[in-house]
Structure 1
Amino acid sequence: MSLPSLSAVSTLAEAGQGRLARLPEQYQHLGHRLVGRRTSPLVWDAWAAEGLRSVPVSERELAFFASHAAYHRAGTAVDAGCGTGGLSRRLRDFGYRVTGLDTSVVSLDLARAHGHGLGLTYQQHDLEAGPPPGMPAGGCDLVAARLLLPFLTDPEAWLHEVRGRWLRPGGCLYLGVAFGDAGALVRGQLPREAIARLCAGWEFRARRDLGLLTCLILRSPMR
């Protein structure tokens, strides 16, 4: 799922104006349920081509990540829903070997324009179609999903698969999620009460609220 649109979703929704108001009705309310409808990759491509970008990764967010999750130097990381690669590049800077996954061809082209190669590759992949081709079962030290979950058909099922098939035992999951009040959600948000459900089955490590974004670091149980 391409993330360039998600930042604009939050920003424009707060402003109550702009391009969000022109979106078709069927794309307006995905954040109201933990089980939602998929968004076409063509929609993400169109938003990326328009220049909509993800919420930048702040220094405060990076400091939080470094304090709790940057302990697998030279480990394997997947940035799920990488968009234009802002987080992927920072994960590489931490020493991870990073694969950025997204369904949007336009977003991936923009990500590659910022550099790729040694330690950082990008791949088009439908995140709800299982692990990416070539990734061994339990082969990841870290999976990051920043501003992604509200745009998955079933976020809880996806997290269950990540825990069971993507991550090694004791591997780390980094989530960045926009939460809101259940009665006033905008596109790209999940209700605050969903936090406990998303964390079920994981070992909780840390949480940090950074404005619109709530960051969670969880760990897969040791088998």
Structure 2
Amino acid sequence: MITTVQRPTPADWDSWYTAGWPAVVTDKESESFHRTVQPYPGMTAVDLACGNGQWMRQLTAWGVFVTGYDFSTEALRQARAAGLPDGLSYAQWDIDAEPIPPALMPGSLDLVTCRHALPYLEYARVLTDVGRWLKPSGIFYALVRVADDQDNATAQSDSVLESFHRGFTEAQIDGIGIGWARRTTYRLSARNCGIVLRGYGDSDCQPCDVSS
């Protein structure tokens, strides 16, 4: 079931990035992603809610051409300050509130990634949009925090700090991937789960593949 929740504002996210709280990209995440997705040079990608660009810089190190979207001015400032190697670009976009950028054309992308942001978004709609943007062979990757019901109740409180720990319950994670041909999930830690989806809208849908 999709629940509407109060989300942090752009100013809240600016404060979050100014304070230096964002999670780092771990070696385990990079290795698990590379093994499962097998990125290759020349891949075209988008990173939704890209933050300060840590994950995008990892993608470009593998030769992926990637554009990052975020609605935090401070996050994008930090991302650009870290450098703009060939094949990397950023743009400001409120994914839930603003029209889809013209650059996100149907069937135009090999890869879309979204780390830690799905629980803050209208994720069913986002996944539908992502499926349209991807080529038939395209892949979607999400990193999500694994939460229980009490965690999510706390994350929806009035505390701005607590609101940055929103996640999905195990039941919600199990529901992500409906309408896709194949799903692979893997745990990176007790609190973090990687989800890889392939084949959006495939009429010959097969049961989800799940790995630990």
CA contact (8 A) 1:79 1:100 kept: yes
CA deviations 1:12-49 (Å, max 9, x no partner) are xxxxxxxxxxxxxxxxxxxx964323432111112212
| Residue 73 (str. 1) matches residue 52 (str. 2) | no
| Residue 57 (str. 1) matches residue 35 (str. 2) | no
| Residue 97 (str. 1) matches residue 65 (str. 2) | yes
Displacement over 4 Å in runs of 4+: none
CA distance in 2, matches of 1:135, 1:33: 25
Per the TM alignment, residue 201 of structure 1 is displaced from its structure 2 partner at its CA by 1.1
Question: 1:192 corresponds to which letter in structure 2?
Answer: E
Per the TM alignment, residue 135 of structure 1 is displaced from its structure 2 partner at its CA by 2.8
Tell me the residue number matched to 1:213.
Answer: 192
User: Over the residues paired in the alignment, what is the CA RMSD in angstroms?
Assistant: 2.0
| Residue 173 (str. 1) matches residue 151 (str. 2) | no
CA distance in 2, matches of 1:222, 1:183: 34
Tell me the residue number matched to 2:205.
Answer: none
Q: Residue 136 of structure 2: SS of its match in structure 1?
A: strand
Relative contact order, CA 8 A, sep 6+: which one is greater? 1
CA contact (8 A) 1:139 1:168 kept: yes
CA distance in 2, matches of 1:183, 1:123: 35
Tell me the residue number matched to 2:161.
Answer: none
CA distance in 2, matches of 1:99, 1:139: 13
CA deviations 1:138-187 (Å, max 9, x no partner) are 211100000001111x21121112112x2112210001000112244343
CA contact (8 A) 2:180 2:197 kept: yes
Aligned pair in 2 of structure 1 residues 167, 220: CA closer, same or farther (>3 Å)? same
**Percent identical:** 32
| Residue 200 (str. 1) matches residue 169 (str. 2) | no
Tell me the residue number matched to 1:145.
Answer: 114
Select the residue among 133, 147, 162 that pairs with 2:102: 133
Unaligned runs of 5+ in 1: 1-31
CA distance in 2, matches of 1:195, 1:143: 18
Question: 1:202 corresponds to which letter in structure 2?
Answer: W
Question: 1:174 corresponds to which letter in structure 2?
Answer: Y
CA contact (8 A) 1:76 1:140 kept: yes
Tell me the residue number matched to 1:35.
Answer: 4
Per the TM alignment, residue 190 of structure 1 is displaced from its structure 2 partner at its CA by 1.6
Q: Residue 132 of structure 1: SS of its match in structure 2?
A: coil
Q: Residue 189 of structure 1: SS of its match in structure 2?
A: coil
Unaligned runs of 5+ in 2: 156-165, 203-212
CA distance in 2, matches of 1:194, 1:63: 25
Select the residue among 106, 109, 127 that pairs with 1:159: 127
CA distance in 2, matches of 1:104, 1:74: 28
